[in-house]
Amino acid sequence: MAVSRYFFGKQPSKEVSSAMKTRGYVHHFITSFVLMSAAAVALKGFFLPEQTGLLLLDTGLVPAMYTDVIAFALPLAIAVCALLAFVELTSIVPVVVCFSLYTLLSGIALFQGLHFDCGCYLPGSLESEVYSELEPQFIVLLCVTLITAGLHFFNTRHPLHTTTHLA
């Protein structure tokens, strides 16, 4: 019991807060890892939207005229959700949903066999870069999604009780 108090923080007091609060070193590390992963995915989406757009277009999930809009909206959504979770205005659930969307996109592309090298793409082309890193990207996103879902499960199972702030 003393070890869990050391890693996960103090005993709760009276009222439940719905925002995500960190408690202890391990919980703080996992929360920071999840939020930094969300920031990295958002930055990759902002600087390389053509990769997300290519996956959306080649999987057939989105019509071609909406590909650019959704390729910009996905990293924007994960950035906003991570920022709201960081400033404790919402729980980690929207971040889990955004990670799930990215994982679903990579998973559908893997299921369709887009990661197989058929020799049709020139080395260094956009398609070659995206499809060569598709399988590792899916595995990493799946692990981060599962860690984020576990963090949400821990936050709801062991809520931190704080006093309510009145305006």
- Asked whether residue 49 is domain-assigned, the answer is yes
Number of domains in the chain: 1
% of the chain exceeding 70 in pLDDT: 78
- Asked whether residue 9 is domain-assigned, the answer is no
Q: What tokens appear for 107 in the block?
A: 């998973």
- Asked whether residue 54 is domain-assigned, the answer is yes
Quote the CA–CA distance of 127 and 53 in Å, as a whole number: 11
pLDDT higher at 162 or 13 = 162
Query: Rounded to the nearest 5°, which phi and psi values hold at 11?
Result: -70, 145
- Asked whether residue 129 is domain-assigned, the answer is yes
Query: Rounded to the nearest 5°, which phi and psi values hold at 102?
Result: -65, -40
> Where in the sequence is the domain holding 153, given as residue range(s)?
24-157
State pLDDT tens for residues 18-69. 445 656 788 888 888 999 999 999 999 999 999 999 999 989 999 999 999 9
